[in-house]
Amino acid sequence: MGKLRKKFGNVAAILGAQWGDEGKGKLIDIFAGEYDVVVRGTGGANAGHTIYPEKGKKVVFHLVPSGIFHPKNVAVLGNGMVIHFPTLFEEMEVLKKFHVKTKGRILISGNAHIVFEYHKKIDQILEEMKGGAKVGTTGRGIGPAYTDKIMRIGIRVSELENFKKFEEHFLTNLKLFQKMYGFHYDPSHELAWFKRHHNEIGEMLCDTNMFLGEVLEKKKSILLEGANGTHLDIDHGTYPYVTSSNATIGGLVTGTGIAPKHFKSIIGIVKAYVTRVGNGPFLTELTDSLGDQIREQGSEYGSTTGRPRRCGWFDAVIIRQSIRLNGLTSINLTKLDVLTNIPKLKICVSYKKKNTHAFYMPPTLDGYTPEYIEMPGWVEDISKARKFSDLPKNCQKYVQKIAELIKVPIHFIGVGQTRQEMIISG
């Protein structure tokens, strides 16, 4: 048994603790080498993880769990997901180019819902309608697909087993949405696509709940891959500027059917600063040239939409909240190297409103301002550091201060882009 599996147990979850894009892909990739199955439970092609399967080769996946590059790994798309199949097929084409076998290695829950092109149209219509109050969605049809699910009219993957019925359901829904939203759409191309591919999809269809249950019975290991980020959670995030699923640990429970008692570790991915794409409150945002510097140093452009990410100072309040919501047992601090060459760094320790101080996220952030401490920066290249003591003293102090504020052990520190550029403690 590998070192990580020994330390983090047979069932470990890795999820983002901020507003997404924390850099989950790298740790998931490292863990996946020791785990038998990697499963996603929520979201759809709004998520994006970047993996570097070979030196200098970058791939961005939106649907396939990151573990697929490890030959023994089985990737599961869980029941809580909403799946846009043409995107999945494009990703499978990329995998082919890297000679990665997918047959029997990608299993899809029949209970997951399908995202269609009309969902994207509705996403766009709703955003336009909201004007200045728009969420800034990824435009991938996520909200409308989850809306159908909750309205109990959604189309699940298992419906493809009877193509005729599937087609009827599709056309009924489309008619309803065209009435509701008044858009024109000729579905013949999309239906033809599903007609061509439904047998291939059928080969990946699986009772994933049964499969995962048997994996657990055999004492094999499962890695759960979170999507989006804690504060984009539909219940606990900065509503309405959130996604339409539960990006916190609860979503991984319901979205996979793995009972909470099995979870041995819940690892939070925390960027050494904060980013956010789309609209919504972000108290430590830097709207000046320093924000631009961090964006450039960190290549902070959306992996799904290419939009520039909003950047800001590390915020201990949102991390404390994430720890509370998810029961995080361990932290991976990512992209610490991006903060090199910034003379003074700020860390938000609490929020203030009149005479009150908030250490956890208040229900609304209106009227709150961040309270900072200042830390000296460093100029040394930290990408070669493999032990904590290799880091420059000021950098060590920055990490120690964060650890002190959030009170959960930081077991991993990312110091560069590649898999190797990681300090792993203990």
* Cα 259 to Cα 263: distance, rounded to the nearest angstrom: 8
Q: How far is the CB of 187 from ligand IMP (least distance, A)?
A: 22
Q: Is 135 in the site for ligand IMP (CB under 6 A)?
A: yes
Q: How far is the CB of 228 from ligand IMP (least distance, A)?
A: 4
Q: Is 138 in the site for ligand IMP (CB under 6 A)?
A: yes
Contact between 349 and 371 (Cβ < 8 Å): yes
> E strand or H helix at 263, and its extent?
none
Residues 3-32 that bind ligand IMP (CB under 6 A): 19-21
* Cα 359 to Cα 320: distance, rounded to the nearest angstrom: 7
Residue with CB nearest ligand IMP?
278
Q: For residue 293, give Cα distances in angstroms to 323, 339, 395, 399, 410.
A: 29, 9, 18, 21, 26
**Which one of residues 14, 47, 348, 415 is an interface residue with ligand IMP (CB under 6 A)?**
47
Contacts with ligand IMP by CB under 6 A: the residue count is 21
Catalytic residue among 29, 36, 49, 198: 49
* Cα 169 to Cα 166: distance, rounded to the nearest angstrom: 5
Q: Is 66 in the site for ligand IMP (CB under 6 A)?
A: no
Contact between 331 and 316 (Cβ < 8 Å): no
**Which one of residues 228, 248, 322, 332 is an interface residue with ligand IMP (CB under 6 A)?**
228
Q: Which is nearer to ligand IMP, 46 or 221 (CB)?
A: 46
**Which one of residues 50, 137, 326, 329 is an interface residue with ligand IMP (CB under 6 A)?**
137
**Which one of residues 28, 142, 316, 336 is an interface residue with ligand IMP (CB under 6 A)?**
142
Structure tokens at 209: 């709940």
| Binding range to ligand IMP, per CB under 6 A, among 134-142, 254-262, 393-401, 413-421 | 134-142
Q: Which is nearer to ligand IMP, 10 or 245 (CB)?
A: 245
Nearest Cα neighbor of 232 from 277, 266, 265, 271 is 277
| Binding range to ligand IMP, per CB under 6 A, among 27-35, 109-117, 181-189, 226-234 | 226-234
| Binding range to ligand IMP, per CB under 6 A, among 43-51, 72-80, 354-362, 405-413 | 43-51
Instruction: Tell me if residue 288 is catalytic.
Output: no
Determine how β-strand 222-225 pairs with β-strand 37-40.
Answer: parallel
Q: How big, in percent rounded to 5, are the helix, strand and coil portions of the chain?
A: 40, 20, 40
Maximum separation of any 2 CA atoms in the chain, in Å:
66
Site string for ligand IMP, 273-302 (x = CB under 6 A): ----xx------------------------
* Cα 299 to Cα 21: distance, rounded to the nearest angstrom: 11
CA 147-153-158 angle, 5° bins: 110
Give the distance, in angstroms, between the CA of residue 322 and the centroid of all CA atoms in the same chain: 14
Q: How far is the CB of 137 from ligand IMP (least distance, A)?
A: 4
Burial class (CB in 10 A: 0-12, 13-18, 19+), 266: buried
Amino acid at 145: A
Site string for ligand IMP, 241-260 (x = CB under 6 A): x-xx----------------
Q: Which is nearer to ligand IMP, 266 or 277 (CB)?
A: 277
Instruction: Tell me if residue 29 is catalytic.
Output: no
* Cα 171 to Cα 169: distance, rounded to the nearest angstrom: 6
Binding stretches for ligand IMP (CB under 6 A)? 19-21, 46-48, 135-138, 140, 142-143, 228-229, 232, 241, 243-244, 277-278
**Among all residues, which ones are annotated catalytic?**
21, 49
